[in-house]
A and B are shown apart, each in its own frame.
Chain A
């Protein structure tokens, strides 16, 4: 049962390309493939395209930023999920295991509560995610234990629950006509309000976190062994764990700050990627990133087009993700049992 990289990676790239084409062409204003290529080619070469200005504006101004953001957010969540599943030696782990999402949620609803600007709300969400994970890590390290991983997970669950209570409190106190809908919308996740200006910081943070994880790919393989084994193989597990958690939290918080809370991507995509190229992080991380981008593009296109009103992403990923995950559980148990 050897797995070669080629076909698996090709499938992932195929999903990404299909997702990109779908996301650019499908919608209230359908764009033909020919027009899409003409507009993109013109943009790349600096010439003017022989396409109606309305189509150009749909491709470049309306869908462009959203498409790029969807690909980046999907990639970020998938990479973070892959890293956390390896680190916690558990395939049921998702990027919010250490409270990044709950922290970001509390940051965002607090920002909305104080009627801050969009940028400030994003900054609050990002900082909330980082602070929550840092708090979990500090609390987890203070508790001296034989199984640091277990303590970390339990601390994450407890702190996540506390932050959830905080979110509930802020929603309870919020103005029910203006602030509460905004909070609800944010908590369900959406890419509808993505701006061009969001893209650069998002890309920078996701690229940084992913680059760190890819650089550590071999050590991450060893880190997926039991703690004492990894140490006896020469890996300083403590410092390395901090680096991996920091990198994965960076990508998670950046994507949550941009798109709100989108579950399931970070749980399901790593499984798919693992079934395509196996568990070696050198292949797994890039494959998961590409596949995650493609997956969220498809989901986001559905969110825009499936109904008269836009469906929140968090709801759609759950509706698609749940049956998919159950199928995965029944059909793929052997690869990680």
Chain B
């Protein structure tokens, strides 16, 4: 099936950067997507909504994992999902690109819209969803291939066959890894350090020009220095991408996120969204007592 056959291609929301290649990693600072977006009046008025979650709930078989999640995720912002273990923040994140589909018994209630399209509509193609919504996992998971092939493989498979070397370089530069690996692109990715592997996974994800990057605790397996470099990277990447990051580290959320959503368990021990607002506000003037208790370290 060619990509253009898919219904998800017909954008309801304005996609100002439209048909032209949206990603220009090499001169990102000069031509960030947001500047193109600013040219269209619709975007000036209100932040563009990438994900719209309407009373989303998730069941694994009989067991309900999360419920009552309603939130908008905005374009070119970094949105952090925080909360104690088992509150369903990772589950919700993985719903955003349908990574939970293969888990037996998985069922999603409510509605999850991506640029106005129902992500779980029968005609929504799972593989296409993931092409547009990339993901980086908790543990770095490079393929047992060379550094170059790790990035080029998916791009080639998706039909991006022109100037592969250039694409690899742009992705590696965007992930702030180029200078460290440019002399050993042909050597195995498994020889990189943990932090480098994670940046390689980010490079791999952005090489296929997604719209959104989902980061599932991307720094939890890394040391502080590697963590800092990943966080710097997130700041740079949000110019081009919409980023959603799950973290159990509140300081990290404060450092990287524009908006923060606090998840916790409700009275019935089911994960839910407690509070969602600008990061500054959530951490300085939380509206909910549970949020206050969590960010002041009283539980979690």
A binds B: no
Chain B residues with CB under 8 Å of chain A are none
